[in-house]
Homo-oligomer: A and B are copies of this chain.
Amino acid sequence: MLLNQNRLLREMDHCGFDAIIGTAAENVTYLSGFWALPQWIRPGPQAYALQSRKGDAVDMSSIITSSGTLDLVADQDVTVERVRRYGEFSFQAGSNDKLDRASRKLMAMQAGTCFAHPIEALAAEIKELSLERSRIGIDIDGLQPGYLEKLKASVPDAHFVDATSTLRKVRTVKTSEEIARLRRVGQIAEQAVDAALGAAHAGMTEVEMARVFHTTTVQADAVPVLGCIGFGERSALMNVQPSDRELRQGDVIRFDVGGRYKHYRADIARIAMFGQNSEAVNQLYAALRSGVELGARLARPGAKASEVFLSVCEEVRRCGIANYQRNHVGHGIGLDGYDAPLLSASSKDVLEEGMVICIETPYYQIGAYGLQVEDMFVITAEGAERLTDAGPLKVIAP
Q: Hey, which bits of chain A sit against chain B, CB under 8 A?
A: 24-26, 35, 37-38, 41-44, 68-69, 71-72, 74-76, 87-96, 98-100, 102-103, 106-107, 140-141, 144-145, 162, 164, 207, 210-211, 214-215, 217-219, 221, 223-226, 228, 233-234, 236-241, 243, 323, 325-327, 336-338, 363-368
Question: A323–B68 contact, CB under 8 A?
Answer: no
Please indicate the chain B residues that have their CB under 8 angstroms from the CB of A364 in the complex.
90-92
What's the Cα separation between A233 and B88 when bound, in Å?
22
Q: From known contacts A103-B367, A221-B211, infer whether A92 and B239 are also in contact, taking CB-CB under 8 Å.
A: no
What's the Cα separation between A211 and B188 when bound, in Å?
14
What's the Cα separation between A164 and B43 when bound, in Å?
12
What's the Cα separation between A207 and B220 when bound, in Å?
10
Q: From known contacts A94-B366, A100-B233, infer whether A239 and B337 are also in contact, taking CB-CB under 8 Å.
A: no
What's the Cα separation between A243 and B224 when bound, in Å?
19
Question: A367–B95 contact, CB under 8 A?
Answer: yes
A262 to chain B, nearest CB (A): 11
Of B144, B218, B241, the contact of A211 (CB 8 Å cutoff): B218
Q: From known contacts A103-B367, A218-B215, A327-B89, infer whether A237 and B69 are also in contact, taking CB-CB under 8 Å.
A: no
Please indicate the chain B residues that have their CB under 8 angstroms from the CB of A102 in the complex.
234, 237
Q: From known contacts A41-B225, A42-B336, A218-B211, infer whether A91 and B366 are also in contact, taking CB-CB under 8 Å.
A: yes
What's the Cα separation between A207 and B219 when bound, in Å?
10
Question: A221–B207 contact, CB under 8 A?
Answer: yes
Question: A68–B107 contact, CB under 8 A?
Answer: no
21 contacts between A and B (CB under 8 A): A35-B241, A37-B226, A37-B239, A42-B338, A69-B239, A72-B239, A75-B241, A76-B241, A87-B327, A89-B327, A91-B365, A94-B366, A94-B368, A99-B233, A99-B367, A100-B234, A102-B237, A103-B233, A141-B144, A145-B164, A211-B219
Q: From known contacts A103-B367, A224-B224, infer whether A42 and B215 are also in contact, taking CB-CB under 8 Å.
A: no
The 9 lowest CB-CB distance pairs between A and B, nearest first, are A94-B367, A91-B364, A90-B325, A71-B237, A214-B218, A94-B366, A99-B367, A103-B367, A92-B365
Chain B minimum-CB-distance residue to A242:
B221
What's the Cα separation between A25 and B44 when bound, in Å?
12
Q: From known contacts A91-B364, A218-B215, A327-B89, infer whether A71 and B239 are also in contact, taking CB-CB under 8 Å.
A: yes
Please indicate the chain B residues that have their CB under 8 angstroms from the CB of A69 in the complex.
238-239
Please indicate the chain B residues that have their CB under 8 angstroms from the CB of A93 in the complex.
366
A377 to chain B, nearest CB (A): 21
Question: B106–A366 contact, CB under 8 A?
Answer: yes
A361 to chain B, nearest CB (A): 12
What's the Cα separation between A95 and B236 when bound, in Å?
13
Question: B367–A96 contact, CB under 8 A?
Answer: yes
Please indicate the chain B residues that have their CB under 8 angstroms from the CB of A25 in the complex.
43
A37 to chain B, nearest CB (A): 5
A182 to chain B, nearest CB (A): 16
Question: B226–A41 contact, CB under 8 A?
Answer: yes
Chain B minimum-CB-distance residue to A226:
B41
